[in-house]
Structure 1
Amino acid sequence: MRLTGWLRSLRSCAMLLGLFLCALSAHAQQISPYLQTPTANSIWVSWKTTAGTESRVEFGTAPDQLTQVVNGSVQQLGTNYLYHSAQLTGLQPNTFYYYRVRTGTNTSQVNRFRTQPVIGEQAGHVRILVMGDNQIIADNRYEKLVRAARTKLESMYAQPIEAALNLVVNVGDQVDVGTLEQYEQVHFKMSAPVSANLPIMTTVGNHEFYYDGDLALYQAHFKYEGIRYQGIAGAANESYYANQVGRVLFVHLNSMNTDAAQEAWLRSVVNAAERDSTVDWVISLIHHPYQAEQYVGDISQTLRNSWMSILATSRKHILNVGGHHHLYARGQTRDWPMYHMISGGTAWDQYWGQSREEDFDDVQKTIANWAWQIVDIDIANRSMTVETYAEAHPIVYRTQGFNYNSRLIDRFEKKLDEVAPSRPTIQNTIGAPVTLPYTFNSSAFNSSTGETLNSTQFQIATDSAFRNLSVDRIRDFEDIYGDTGAPLYEPVDRNQGVNILNWTVPAFGLPNGNYFVRVRHRDANVMWSAWSDAKAFTVTGSNNGTPSISITQSIYAPTEPVVVTYANGYGLARDWIGVYRKGQTPGNVTSTQYKYVTGPNGSVSFANLPAGQEYFAAFFTNDSFTEIAPRVSFYVGNEVGISIPRTEYAVGESVPIAWTGAPAHASDWIGVYRVGHVPGTQTSTQWQYTPTASGTATINGLSKGYYYAAFFLNDAYFEASERVFFSVGDQIATVSMPSTVLAPNADFSVNFANGPGTPKDYIGIFRAGATPGVDVLVDYLYVDGRASGSVTFTEDLPEGDYFLALYINDSYTEVSNRVAFRVGNGTTPTPTLRADRSSYRQGLPVVLNWTNTPGGTRDWIGIYHAGSNPGSSNPSVSWRYAPSNSGQTSFTGLARGNYYATFMVNDGYTEITPRVNFTIRAAGDLNGDNVVDINDRNLLRASLGKCEGNPAYNRDADYDNDACVTQLDYQAWYSYYTNP
């Protein structure tokens, strides 16, 4: 076993001396318990060992009275990986218990936890620590975040963590890839500062699925299969579930699988919670968030477009927590009284300037800090407070480490019983027509409950019902977006100094015409006031704007009305919108339907258009055929369904594309395009006519690449289906560099082409010889969803040899060639490990020297019996950390036998040096012939009286290590001679 583990065990024994007998041996294992799935009367305890099948938990209500025993079960998940679990049942609610776990002679230290409150209990607090996105194995930054949170919370509440909090929730990407090493080193090891005292409940992210597509290892580690809320079970693979703590219901969602089954489950859970008198609060957790201002679009569209509206059917749902983006963000949904936030942990660096960014009005702040949240729900007072504490900025961390010292960067609250703020008024007295620019003034904010102003919303419309909006703008009292840049990267408030009670329409901000304006206020409890009375006004002196028409979709069902919205028209009584079939010329033929418009802005509706046809709408003025706006095209008929059986094909393999529900035109067709190509601008790679209502088109001969297929109508480029995406071949994309020999500290560009075009594809850099997903990712840049382009690296790389490639969507799946390159003039020096000799008599130290190693804090040297392998069922005989690039260490106490030493990195079993073989021979064998005899005596006699520095001094003969060979050494040798 490793020496540090032995010392930790020794310290544990010292602390517990008098409580129990602590048995130590050279092969003892350090055991770290992990708590999960807590209730008022039970909890699961899990731990990992390298050997032993006993799964025993000893517990009680005092540290010296661990009189109750539960024997659990063990799973052999891999070589030297035994995962033990035991459920403690029959516990009392809200009660402290002490426990330790035991496997054979190995025990953990005594830890303490607290059970959860009774379901529906009306008193006390429920406090939750929120964290997410561990992911990084090469740097223990997540462990630092956990320790910082514990330190701050114990100081804040002046009591141990298990007394102050109820549980931890993690919103996904607990690992970088779903392997045993990742679960052990990234999730369990880095959560250890709290996991023996606080239960942790997890949510699946995208990284849990990498290398573990069916979540087999996720299910093996986490005990969620027995969780039921109101009898409603979650997913069979534990990827979504709901569990209740006191009067709080936690709904864990799976953003990687948004099928109908999960949506039906969610509806059942929300409906049950709405009826449940023991639930006041519902908090939903999901990995991909509701909204994001960096890497725009990399969110859960299903949550945004569907699931959040289901959650909003219950006013008990007050908070949605996401992850995925490695920062902190918080906002409010536009209309529902609920918050959404991102708790992005400490995974890969994410900061302003990396990606496509946009300032959204439903996000109040985005702060590129590594942070955590404490959610404090006061049950009796029916209030929730959420505070966010930051520990570091990812760029500043590189030179200063965690230097924010739990800086408070956000605080918000929700009170269940408060009333909405007072209804405001528009203060302007509007008599004559207004000219722009013009400022509308709201009355002051007023709340009978003492809440403060958080947001205002101004709307301007052409109709008093506010259906045809010209302005719809929500502003918060603060808009934290972007930062100050180097060196501090402090957040910037775009609304600093802005009076959000006023709204100014700029010059030409509205065309001439008649309008209505109104306003409402939102308090810090996310409650909207009623809308103010609308005030009418007229704009003169402006222009009429650019006339336009628009529709909300491109395909309409046969009986669905087609609503055409028009804006900035000329306002003449005989202006009109006409609908024509594709290919017709207005004036030469009669329109299929037409409607006169009213005023410059508004909408008209067309119903019962003949199905199976493609149409366009056009905007005409004064009963003429003069078109004043670009046309809009659409199709009336059922959307055509197309599908493929797989998404990956080998080169030379046929790709069958099935279609259903088509209009059966003779010239309809299916086209296959490369990702990034635009139909009508670039030609299709292949195509086939589809003249029937359903069928299958077989596409052959595709070269390797990323493709999509779509259904087109009438020999044109109108897409009557959703696109389906697939790939042909592997390592499809290409990457290249202008030069593969770089000067130290030089910026360099990487070109890429034919990529998959998914949101988080990235160029990753590794050391030569590294294994992606196992070894450290040295540097990376996202390509922002592009299929082709270039990125420029500006971070300095140490001199040495590297390779880079394109990786798909935040994974380690390599989709391009590799490019090897060098920084500096020389190659990376080869790591070496050397012993000072190949044979040692028993009792002498084995001295090892290493050079040119990575210098990681968890790099280590292991001593193994010949014939055994690191990571197998035969553990190291002895080991030492070797955290510098070069150094020397020694090992003593080895028994007779054949051994080897090897150098491994990052607490893993990757060997980076050749093995160094050596032998430990009998203590009396001075000449190495494997016999203790008179020849050895003669060697010792020849060295008698000689000390270190004398050529005749024999180190092997110096048994008492006093640097001289004396009669005492002869007596020691003689005892080995007579008792070999």
Structure 2
Amino acid sequence: MNRSRFLRLLTASGASAFAFRPFRALGAIDYDFSGTPAGLRPYLHAPRPDSMRVSWWTDADSQTFIDYGTDMAALEHTVSGTRNVLGSNYHYHTVQLTGLQPDTYYHYRVRTENLTSAMFRFRTPKPLGTATGKFRVLVLGDNQIIDPAQRRFERLVERAKKKVEDLYGVPIEESIDFVLMPGDQVDVGTLQHYRHLHFEFNGWISPYLPIMTTIGNHETYSDPGLANYKAVFHYDDLDCLGVSSPDPEVYYAYQLANIAFVHTSSEHTGAAQTGWVQDLVSAAETNPQVEWMISLCHRPYNAEQYIGDISNWMRNTAMPIFARTEKHVLNIGAHHHLYARGQTREWPVYHIISGGSAWDQYWGQSNEADYDDVQKTIANWAWQLIEFDLDARTMDVRCFAEANVRFPEANRWSYHSRLIDHFQRKLDLPAPDAPTLAAPPAEPLELPLTLESSAYVSATGENLNSTWFQIATDTDFKDLKVDRIRDVENIFGDTGAPDFEPVDIHADLDIIQYLLPANALANGSYHARVRHRDTNARWSPWSAAVAFEVTGSSAADDPAITLQKHVYALDERIRIDYDGGPGIATDWIGIYRKGDTPGPVASTLWSYVTGSSGFREFDAKLTEGEWFAAFFTNDGYTEIAPRVPFYVGHPPTLATGKSGYDEGEAVAIDFTGGPAGVTDWIGIYRIGEAAGEANPAQDWDYLNGTRTPPASGVASGSLAFDGLPKGYYYADYFVNDGYFGIAEPIHFSVGTEISVVLIDSPVVNPGDGFTVRFSGGPGTPKDWMGIFRKGDTPGPDPLTAYLYVDGNTTGSVTFQLPDLPPGDYWVALFINDSYTEVSNRFEFSVPGNEELKIEESALDGSSIILAWPSRVGTDYDIEGSDDLETWETVRSVRGTGGRIEETVDAGSTEPRQRFFRIKTR
């Protein structure tokens, strides 16, 4: 149904008037923000037992003073600081208070030559190494949206403050020690967003509690060198246990009480940061003054929505280093705008996502998967409270939800600090007892089979949280066929409209049992074991293994062999997994050089297999070059699975000077360290296209820069590729005139507005859904389609609507925007959660009745002339009514604006109302 505005004409002798019905929003907000803090709002950060940094903004003031003391009636100290002019109307004032006493309340006010703040109070941290009392941390995720109307992050902060003060019955600075923020404090790294988003929205708490920030991807937008971030936040004087960061502000650590807090950067991973984490863990492990460690990384350890959009550096590199010490108990991420919690598979470490209240994220919006190291994902806007009982050596974490983005705005903020998660980590508690696994029948059995663990037993009082079942073909459990962790509670998805409540998909599951359905395993011999995890995240020892044999199975897997990678070092062990084999005792796996024919040519390495599935490892060193593995049956040379090629040797390194090139600009690909074969070559392919005979390269050259092989190998150099059409590409190093790439491919783009977006019509009827088609996208996980008003600049100006495209390079998204106001808009594709446009801007309009206006009116009220602007290709009906119930068509028009004259009861002496509206057809 089309929404329309009304033009009312009140006619009488010599009188006329008109009025418009305003655009109706979904509903009024349920909280009055007229009480939002005003005036100078100081911002505390970099807390130390003997110092505190205090900052604030003014438009133009030059002086910087703080008056402070332990008695608010007598502020006995006054200190001056620095004023940094970062831009017009962006004067940044900073004072570092030093010589303070630990665990002491200080009253203070900040002032300039023109302004003086209200009186505030903060508490300095406890002495380093303190191991008694309570230590509490407030965690607030992505700030990100500046939205001056909704101010959604400000609501989250205000409600967190209220809940904390209700919980403890004291002002927030008496109960909370400081605030952690895991990244995306802004939407773009501009001064406007730092001042009017991060500082302003945190004004409820920033004068009372120090806030410590983490680099997110949005801090780098519009500020790739982080100049604004480093001008605003000062962490370069912090260290932890004598370990200083090689790149302070970008990643850094500090100690408060007996807890080490480590802020890593998911946007600046590399050897330097990894080495720094190693040094911190080594120092903390041997230092008795640190008993706890918490790490932060903006992109999370894992996520069940927008799967794959995580920090692989944290998951695969940093977390194993952190896990070397059991002092590391919690990793905090963000990036996804919801709450999630899980436990790492192997270690007693919790990980959470604190997604704040940023851009909308909800179930059904993206690619999703249920992971066994994520116990719950709840699409609410929420915040967390961490409480350490330092005497009891206990960490208690609670998560409070405030809002659900799927609710209409009128009741969106209706949760009122609902407790949606609670977990603990306690040091020194023993693990649960090892379970036993009931032995299956001794004779061969047909599936289904239920494996059953003994009951959970623990001396600590902790409850059962998880079970871990493994089934393998070998007694060392290296060739795993089942490797499954299940939690007592597994929150995944929601109930849908109208309540959107979280769903526990394990509500009716007995995790003590594990069902192997029919045909779940191929015929053969297996070993199974189980262990239990308690609510303290501690695993029991494994049970003793039980053996069983499966028969009568018709598992449909074809024989296959797999390798863990495709390039190996000269002295590296090679593991080959096999599956779906016939199970004949003389089945075997062989390794051959490329070009060898099994049979006439003997294998270089070979081994019999055991059963229909398993793995074999080969220790003998292979010479440099291309090889393949093959799966043979019954001591013969009949191959029963596709060959798997691999390369042995030093992989080359490819590099390019930049990630984006202009059309017509030569793309330089540098190479070094490769095998330097005379027919080795470098090829350029479009993203999403695989190299092969059926898919020729966009461009290629041998290593000498020509298409004639060189007389001798070229070990290093640079190739220039001209004339690439605009698009997204990757380059790889291929060996021996073949299509086997052995380098880590490098990615780059050519041109601007590479992608194409299109709507079928440039006019979208009010209330109608519309589809935006796209092609030539970058194919990164969080590419998104955004709608802005005409004339707006992405980032500084508010976003009207958006949808992610799920990493697709070609496809469509459909917007359902029933309340999109009339006006002119444009839509474009943006790359990977950034404000970098990668497509054309497709302009469209939403017509509305506010365009219908009175141009002239007869003095006697007998007629009016209505006018409207031109909108080519749009059909309109001009309708009139005396009572807003019975409408008649006055005029139908198409494709242009214009003027119409409407007669209204000529000669009438009585005033009357006449309503008009314009509707699109």
Structure 1 Cα separation of the partners of residues 473 and 726 of structure 2: 53
Relative to 1, partners in 2 of residues 1:235 and 1:11: Cα closer, same or farther, differing over 3 Å? closer
User: What is the Cα deviation at residue 617 of structure 1?
Assistant: 1.2
Q: Secondary structure at the residue paired with 1:395?
A: coil
Q: Secondary structure at the residue paired with 1:84?
A: strand
Q: Secondary structure at the residue paired with 1:233?
A: coil
Structure 1 Cα separation of the partners of residues 852 and 751 of structure 2: 37
Indicate the residue corresponding to 1:653 in structure 2.
665
Structure 2 Cα separation of the partners of residues 736 and 171 of structure 1: 37
Structure 1 Cα separation of the partners of residues 181 and 217 of structure 2: 13
Letter in 2 for 1:137: I
User: What is the Cα deviation at residue 329 of structure 1?
Assistant: 0.6
Report the more deviating stretch, 415-424 or 710-719. Answer: 710-719
Corresponding position: 1:775 with 2:797: yes
User: What is the Cα deviation at residue 237 of structure 1?
Assistant: 5.0
Structure 2 Cα separation of the partners of residues 709 and 500 of structure 1: 47
Does the 8 A contact of 2:440 with 2:546 survive in 1? no
Structure 2 Cα separation of the partners of residues 702 and 601 of structure 1: 47
Relative to 1, partners in 2 of residues 1:653 and 1:11: Cα closer, same or farther, differing over 3 Å? closer
Note the alpha carbon deviations across 1:808-848, whole angstroms, 9 max, x for none.
22122212110011123668799xxxxxxxxxxxxxxxxxx
Structure 1 Cα separation of the partners of residues 779 and 213 of structure 2: 30
Relative to 1, partners in 2 of residues 1:442 and 1:9: Cα closer, same or farther, differing over 3 Å? closer
Aligned sequence identity (%): 52
Indicate the residue corresponding to 2:49 in structure 1.
40
User: What is the Cα deviation at residue 234 of structure 1?
Assistant: 2.0
Indicate the residue corresponding to 2:128 in structure 1.
119
Report the more deviating stretch, 757-766 or 447-456. Answer: 757-766
Corresponding position: 1:805 with 2:808: no
Structure 2 Cα separation of the partners of residues 63 and 623 of structure 1: 91
Relative to 1, partners in 2 of residues 1:397 and 1:128: Cα closer, same or farther, differing over 3 Å? farther
Q: Secondary structure at the residue paired with 1:162?
A: helix
Q: Secondary structure at the residue paired with 1:595?
A: strand
Does the 8 A contact of 1:800 with 1:827 survive in 2? no
Does the 8 A contact of 1:219 with 1:237 survive in 2? no
Relative to 1, partners in 2 of residues 1:11 and 1:762: Cα closer, same or farther, differing over 3 Å? closer
Indicate the residue corresponding to 1:507 in structure 2.
518
Structure 2, unmatched stretches of 5+, are: 1-32, 704-712, 854-921
What is the aligned counterpart of 1:720 among 724, 727, 742? 742
User: What is the Cα deviation at residue 653 of structure 1?
Assistant: 1.5
Structure 2 Cα separation of the partners of residues 45 and 374 of structure 1: 24
Structure 2 Cα separation of the partners of residues 104 and 179 of structure 1: 26
After TM superposition, the structure 1 = structure 2 runs for residues 146-545 of structure 1, keeping only pairs within 5 Å, are 146-396=157-407, 398-428=409-439, 430-543=441-554, 545=557
Does the 8 A contact of 1:579 with 1:594 survive in 2? yes
Letter in 2 for 1:125: K
Structure 2 Cα separation of the partners of residues 828 and 583 of structure 1: 75
Letter in 2 for 1:78: G
After TM superposition, the structure 1 = structure 2 runs for residues 80-91 of structure 1, keeping only pairs within 5 Å, are 80-91=89-100
Q: Secondary structure at the residue paired with 1:697?
A: strand
User: What is the Cα deviation at residue 530 of structure 1?
Assistant: 0.4
Indicate the residue corresponding to 1:70 in structure 2.
79
Structure 1 Cα separation of the partners of residues 137 and 158 of structure 2: 15
What is the aligned counterpart of 1:687 among 685, 689, 700? 700
Structure 2 Cα separation of the partners of residues 809 and 465 of structure 1: 42
Report the more deviating stretch, 76-85 or 682-691. Answer: 682-691
Corresponding position: 1:751 with 2:773: yes
User: What is the Cα deviation at residue 611 of structure 1?
Assistant: 2.7
Indicate the residue corresponding to 2:592 in structure 1.
580
Q: Secondary structure at the residue paired with 2:47?
A: coil
Indicate the residue corresponding to 1:919 in structure 2.
none
Structure 2 Cα separation of the partners of residues 807 and 374 of structure 1: 35
Structure 2 Cα separation of the partners of residues 679 and 827 of structure 1: 56
Letter in 2 for 1:369: N
Q: Which has the larger radius of gyration?
A: 1
Report the more deviating stretch, 103-112 or 140-149. Answer: 103-112
Report the more deviating stretch, 563-572 or 189-198. Answer: 563-572
Relative to 1, partners in 2 of residues 1:824 and 1:537: Cα closer, same or farther, differing over 3 Å? same
Structure 1 Cα separation of the partners of residues 621 and 537 of structure 2: 44
Q: Secondary structure at the residue paired with 2:107?
A: strand
Relative to 1, partners in 2 of residues 1:397 and 1:428: Cα closer, same or farther, differing over 3 Å? farther
Report the more deviating stretch, 817-826 or 56-65. Answer: 817-826
Structure 2 Cα separation of the partners of residues 311 and 361 of structure 1: 20
Structure 1, unmatched stretches of 5+, are: 1-7, 13-28, 831-980
After TM superposition, the structure 1 = structure 2 runs for residues 635-674 of structure 1, keeping only pairs within 5 Å, are 635-674=647-686
Indicate the residue corresponding to 2:845 in structure 1.
822
The CA RMSD over aligned residues, in Å, is 2.0
Does the 8 A contact of 2:50 with 2:98 survive in 1? yes
Q: Secondary structure at the residue paired with 1:182?
A: helix
TM-score (structure 1 length as normaliser) = 0.80
Q: Secondary structure at the residue paired with 1:394?
A: coil
Structure 2 Cα separation of the partners of residues 466 and 815 of structure 1: 48
Report the more deviating stretch, 244-253 or 208-217. Answer: 208-217
Indicate the residue corresponding to 2:623 in structure 1.
611
Structure 2 Cα separation of the partners of residues 83 and 685 of structure 1: 51
Structure 2 Cα separation of the partners of residues 429 and 357 of structure 1: 36
Indicate the residue corresponding to 1:565 in structure 2.
577
User: What is the Cα deviation at residue 384 of structure 1?
Assistant: 0.4
Indicate the residue corresponding to 1:741 in structure 2.
763
Relative to 1, partners in 2 of residues 1:141 and 1:282: Cα closer, same or farther, differing over 3 Å? same
Note the alpha carbon deviations across 1:238-262, whole angstroms, 9 max, x for none.
1111011101110000110111111
Corresponding position: 1:631 with 2:643: yes
What is the aligned counterpart of 1:98 among 107, 110, 129? 107
Does the 8 A contact of 2:136 with 2:386 survive in 1? yes
Indicate the residue corresponding to 2:26 in structure 1.
none
Letter in 1 for 2:655: S
Report the more deviating stretch, 484-493 or 380-389. Answer: 484-493
Note the alpha carbon deviations across 1:476-504, whole angstroms, 9 max, x for none.
00111111112221111111110000001
Structure 2 Cα separation of the partners of residues 53 and 664 of structure 1: 63
Note the alpha carbon deviations across 1:775-827, whole angstroms, 9 max, x for none.
11000011122222211112322222210111122122212110011123668
Letter in 1 for 2:750: V
TM-score (structure 2 length as normaliser) = 0.85
Report the more deviating stretch, 598-607 or 472-481. Answer: 598-607
Structure 1 Cα separation of the partners of residues 242 and 546 of structure 2: 53
Structure 1 Cα separation of the partners of residues 672 and 789 of structure 2: 50
How many residues matched?
A: 808
Structure 1 Cα separation of the partners of residues 566 and 394 of structure 2: 46
Structure 2 Cα separation of the partners of residues 517 and 66 of structure 1: 70
Structure 1 Cα separation of the partners of residues 442 and 624 of structure 2: 52
Does the 8 A contact of 1:563 with 1:605 survive in 2? yes
Report the more deviating stretch, 565-574 or 281-290. Answer: 565-574
